């Protein structure tokens, strides 16, 4: 019997590509039923319509269901993929603009904006995980692509849920480097270390041989341009930072850019409206090129690859968000990290890694402390914990900023924070 895969947030413009990615792996991932769950019926119909046409083009013989009822989506599901956004793009705009008023970075996964999103998202994701455990098939997996992935996954695993966090940063770089070397992607293995959206590549192994020294010697300028960081910094670190490190290494510069606008939220909202217009075309049965500008490129590849390996017990190595369990020696076992892991039917098993260099470790430890405080604040609605989280966040830190900023963030998300505003 085939599998049932439920996509929570099925009205996302990502969804058609995601569903197609699963269908393309039919040999490894026999799916009988896809269910797309979304509370926005009109949007779900548009996105689901394109997904249905893409599946027909791919020759998929199973069932695609569209629903606004959570029980219908989760009942008997083997895998639940979460890509939801509490408050939608309108709330994202608040996350990206409100912190600027306090001299802080505005971004949806890091800094103060990411904190606000975590407060809204963690309780919803835990509720989803609990219902998946009740309604899903025995041993059902929750695969989380919902940002901030690191904080959400920390909350899920702290509560003992069968969950794995997933990001597209590592697979995107792997594909680009494979193209650079002219090899198949599976021949490139990254030593990706750190936390979600706070990561570095310490090695780039092609057929087992580390080619990072060669890349840094011959192509450091191109690598630095790609992640928008100074070439001297990339050479100094001896590693390839993710582009999210710009927020930490170039805070003042990024803040100035953000103040000039436009925000990423505004750009994405415009792209989404155009995508939905394209999706309404009944003749369209392939992914439009515009989707690559939406963000999250190769997410569908990463998700389909992960789920196929969990189902088949393949034992291949993928970069995921998982409990550390000794992989990075200087971090606690229960800290969720983003590292290479071997994927089999029992889950993701992080590979042992060398300790982080001090200049990486200090930042990772500080951000992990913030993440843990953010989880506790989200679950309790405790303002004191929330304030401590902002003080621990390297992109806020200052008490005279954190106090009024917290009040503004909570008020800006009031409609989605029942723990902070009971009744």
List 318's β-bridge partners, or say none: 341
For CA atoms 24, 25, 27, 31, the dihedral sign is negative
**Helices 169-181 and 299-312: crossing angle, nearest 10°?**
100
**3-class DSSP state of 175:** helix
How many Å apart are CA 328 and CA 337, to the nearest integer? Answer: 8
List 81's β-bridge partners, or say none: 7, 143
DSSP code string of 110-134: SHHHHHHHHHHHHHHHHHHHHHHHH
Is residue 226 within 8 Å of 177, Cβ to Cβ? no
Q: Which tokens belong to 167?
A: 């990001």
**3-class DSSP state of 316:** strand
Is residue 373 within 8 Å of 385, Cβ to Cβ? yes
**3-class DSSP state of 3:** strand
Q: Which tokens belong to 44?
A: 């779900």
List 199's β-bridge partners, or say none: 194
Q: Judging by beta carbons within 10 Å of its beta carbon (0-12, 13-18, 19+), is residue 43 exposed, middle or buried? A: middle
How many Å apart are CA 300 and CA 409, to the nearest integer? Answer: 32
The catalytic residue positions are 244
Residue 195's nearest CA partner among 390, 396, 360 is 360
How many Å apart are CA 346 and CA 314, to the nearest integer? Answer: 11
Question: At a CB cut-off of 8 Å and minimum separation 6, what does 229 contact?
Answer: 241, 243, 245, 246, 249, 250
Q: Which tokens belong to 51?
A: 């997904």
């Amino acid at each position: 019997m085939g599998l049932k895969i439920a996509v929570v947030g099925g009205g996302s413009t990502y969804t058609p590509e995601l569903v197609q990615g699963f269908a393309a792996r039919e040999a490894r991932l026999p799916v009988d039923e896809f269910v797309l769950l979304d509370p926005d019926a009109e949007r779900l119909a548009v996105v689901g319509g394109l997904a249905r046409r893409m599946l027909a083009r791919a020759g998929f013989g199973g069932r695609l269901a569209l629903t606004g009822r959570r029980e219908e989506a989760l009942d008997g599901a083997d895998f639940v993929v979460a890509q939801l956004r509490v408050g939608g793009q309108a709330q994202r705009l608040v996350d990206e603009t409100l912190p600027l008023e306090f001299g802080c970075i505005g971004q949806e996964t890091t800094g103060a904006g990411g904190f606000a999103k975590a407060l809204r998202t963690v309780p919803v994701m835990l509720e989803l995980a609990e219902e998946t455990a009740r309604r899903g098939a025995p041993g059902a997996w929750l695969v989380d692509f919902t940002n901030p992935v690191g904080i959400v996954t920390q909350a899920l695993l702290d509560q003992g849920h069968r969950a794995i966090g997933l990001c597209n940063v590592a697979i995107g770089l792997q594909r680009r480097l494979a193209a650079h070397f002219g090899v198949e992607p599976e021949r490139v293995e990254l030593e990706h270390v750190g936390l979600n959206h706070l990561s570095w590549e310490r090695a780039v192994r092609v057929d087992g041989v580390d080619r990072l020294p060669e890349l840094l010697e011959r192509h450091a300028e191109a690598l630095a341009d790609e992640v928008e960081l100074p070439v001297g910094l990339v050479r100094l670190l001896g590693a390839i930072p993710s582009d999210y490190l710009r927020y930490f290494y170039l805070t003042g510069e990024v803040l100035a850019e953000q103040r000039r606008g436009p925000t990423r939220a505004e750009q994405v909202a415009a792209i989404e409206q155009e995508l939905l217009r394209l999706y309404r075309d009944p003749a369209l049965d392939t992914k439009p090129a515009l989707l690559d500008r939406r963000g999250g490129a190769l997410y569908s590849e990463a998700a389909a690859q992960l789920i196929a390996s969990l189902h088949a017990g393949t034992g291949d190595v993928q970069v995921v968000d998982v409990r550390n369990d000794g992989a990075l020696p200087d971090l606690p076992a229960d800290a969720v990290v983003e590292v290479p892991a071997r994927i089999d039917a029992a889950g993701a098993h992080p590979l042992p890694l060398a300790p982080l260099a001090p200049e990486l470790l200090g930042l990772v430890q500080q951000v992990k402390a913030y993440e843990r405080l953010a989880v506790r604040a989200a679950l309790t609605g405790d303002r004191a914990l929330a304030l401590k989280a902002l003080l621990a966040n390297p992109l806020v830190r200052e008490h005279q900023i954190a106090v009024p900023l917290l009040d503004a963030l909570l008020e800006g998300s009031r409609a989605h924070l029942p723990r902070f505003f009971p009744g």
